[in-house]
Amino acid sequence: MKIVALAGGVGGAKLAHGLAQILEPGELTTIVNTGDDFEHLGFYICPDLDTVCYTLAGLANPETGWGRSDETWNVMENLEKLGGPSWFRLGDQDMATHLERTRRLRVGEPLSQITKAFCEAWGVKHAVLPMSDSPVRTMVNADDGELAFQEYFVHRRCEPRVKGFRFDGVEGAEPAPGVKEALDLADTVIICPSNPWVSIDPILEILRPPFAQFDGAKSVIAVSPIIGGQTVKGPAAKMYRELGIEPSAFAVANHYRGLLSGFVFDRRDAQLVENIKGLNMRAYVTNTLMECLDDRKQLAMEVLNFIGEVL
């Protein structure tokens, strides 16, 4: 079975990690959102790409989900003493990633190639691709004006009310090398439990125009990031509410309506099963909360079995 997983940050990385425990390298390609990339302190930072790579490498910080485990913060502490910006926390080990990525980008190496080289260095065996080598920037239209994604997410702690989103640069951006090939070969695309508005929509915007078959011939399965009306992490539920939609697994299924052959959601939302089937997709109910490594593997196994039923 060949699988393409679409992922944003922490939730997506956890399921990709579960899939990587089961699938052979060569059977799994994870395509990652780069809409929340930004330049900060002179570094080119790719939070979701790093979260996915660190997680697959077993290097991710288990408390935050982002950044490195066993991290030290010497640079940040000294930066703060000098009055430098410290709202975006960069650990010492993590900083090496941004330093080297920025250096390579400056000498003309594309992001996809840099990611491949980093994955090799970290021992990540399954392919990880940025959605595009061209910069795409998620912009949050909030009640007090438009904000760059990290400004909204980290600096303003998701406090501004959202009115919509714009993916700056998406029109001119091509999928990264390897993305089209992976999709052509894939039996199934799994949309990981990431934020539909700001993690998955940017990837879909990049993929849709050149991949007509993506809207029909391939089976596409999504896993809900919303459990019992809430998100495990991040502002997806708050975003749904502010956009006038009741946050629920049904709202997520409805968001991807027309694209999905199957939808996986949590036991706590089992009462939504008939409504979800009414969206013309198969439904699978299980425990989707990934609290430990075994949960990741268990959910991945169940999603793969469900794909077997759907195909």
Footprint of ligand FO1 (CB under 6 A): 8-9, 36, 47-48, 50-51, 66-67, 88-90, 94, 150, 153-154
Would you state the torsion angle of the CA atoms of residues 188, 194, 198, 200, taken in this order, to the nearest 10 degrees?
0
Choose between 51 and 261: whose C-beta lies nearer to ligand FO1: 51
User: From CA 50, how far away is CA 104, in angstroms rounded?
Assistant: 16
Choose between 18 and 47: whose C-beta lies nearer to ligand FO1: 47
Choose between 166 and 277: whose C-beta lies nearer to ligand FO1: 166
Cβ 271 to ligand FO1 shortest distance, Å:
29
How many CB atoms within 10 Å of residue 284?
21
Choose between 155 and 277: whose C-beta lies nearer to ligand FO1: 155
Choose between 87 and 246: whose C-beta lies nearer to ligand FO1: 87
The answer to whether 23 touches 4, Cβ cutoff 8 Å, is no
Name, in order, each residue with C-beta under 8 angstroms of 180's C-beta and a sequence gap of 6 or more: 210, 211
Cβ 282 to ligand FO1 shortest distance, Å:
28
Choose between 68 and 296: whose C-beta lies nearer to ligand FO1: 68
The answer to whether 133 touches 44, Cβ cutoff 8 Å, is no
Residue 188 CA neighbour count, 13 Å, CB half: 22
- Using Cβ positions, the residue closest to ligand FO1 within the complex turns out to be 9
Choose between 140 and 285: whose C-beta lies nearer to ligand FO1: 140
User: From CA 138, how far away is CA 204, in angstroms rounded?
Assistant: 13
Cβ 5 to ligand FO1 shortest distance, Å:
15
Cβ 157 to ligand FO1 shortest distance, Å:
8
Beta-bridge partners for 145: 142
Cβ 27 to ligand FO1 shortest distance, Å:
25
φ/ψ of residue 300, rounded to 5: -60, -45
Cβ 79 to ligand FO1 shortest distance, Å:
13
Cβ 132 to ligand FO1 shortest distance, Å:
16
* CA 286 to chain CA centroid, nearest Å: 21
User: From CA 69, how far away is CA 122, in angstroms rounded?
Assistant: 13
CA pseudo-torsion sign 150, 151, 152, 153: positive
